[in-house]
Amino acid sequence: MSPEQPAGRKSRFSEERRAEVYRATIALIAERGYQGASIDEIAVRTQTSKATLYRQWGDKSNLVLTALRAESGLAVETIDTGSLDGDLTALMDMFGARAGQNVRLVLTIADAAQRDLELHTTLVRYGMPELSGIERILSRAVERGELPADHPAIPHVPHLLIGALFGVAVIEGPEARIDAERMRGFLSDVLLPLLGRCE
């Protein structure tokens, strides 16, 4: 079952129509924040009935986070360059390329999730494919002998990457520069040395 389609509900949306709803939803969240964007407004902007939106996505949190995933440009599970350094470089480029949009939106939603348990649960589910992809990158590195299986830093890598992405915006504010160049700097100056990958 796809995350955007609740159990027992058949999709009648074309991929093009679904993409229109996702783009409109993301635009509305960017303008008004999670709390300020309602299903009613999404329905008006997309010329879709509320009943149809609820039938397709179940609730607002599922619609918003599915839209964010669809529009994020992230596909960590596709990264496999054959080396740890290459995989992590590709990961930094992928994160950095879309950070301008993704970081702001995720922080907006994460703030609302502190007061909404259902939204928090959905947000965690939204992030699982990326976290699993990072774990697979590290597992392959262990299998290739690039990292020892008991390296103490391995469990902390996902947390460090999340901090590198979102911590900059929290500390430096909405005008913070978060791009591929900065993420590569984090990789070369922090993450690779931590993993013992410095030459």
Nearest to 74 by CA among 65, 63, 62, 83: 65
* pLDDT higher than threshold 80 for residue 199: no
Domains located in the chain, CATH noted = 15-70 (1.10.10.60), 73-194 (1.10.357)
Q: pLDDT tens digits for 27-61?
A: 999 888 888 889 999 999 988 999 999 999 999 98
| Encoded amino acid at 150, one letter | D
The predicted-structure confidence for 74-110, as pLDDT tens digits, reads as follows 899 999 999 999 999 999 999 999 888 888 888 888 8
The whole-number pLDDT of residue 102 equals 85
Would the pLDDT of 10 be above 70?
no
pLDDT of 126 reads 80
Query: What average pLDDT score do residues 111-116 get?
Result: 88
Q: Identify the pLDDT of residue 1.
A: 36
Is residue 188 within 8 A of residue 85, CB to CB? The reply is no
Contact present, 64 and 109 (Cβ < 8 Å): yes
User: Is the pLDDT at 183 greater than 80, yes or no?
Assistant: yes
- For residues 188 and 183, what is the distance between their CA atoms, to the nearest angstrom? 9
Average pLDDT over residues 108-137: 87
What pTM was computed for the model?
A: 0.81
Confidence band for 192, pLDDT divided at 50, 70 and 90 = very high
Please name which of 83, 107, 78 lies closest in space to residue 94, comparing C-alpha atoms: 78
Give residue 152's pLDDT: 96
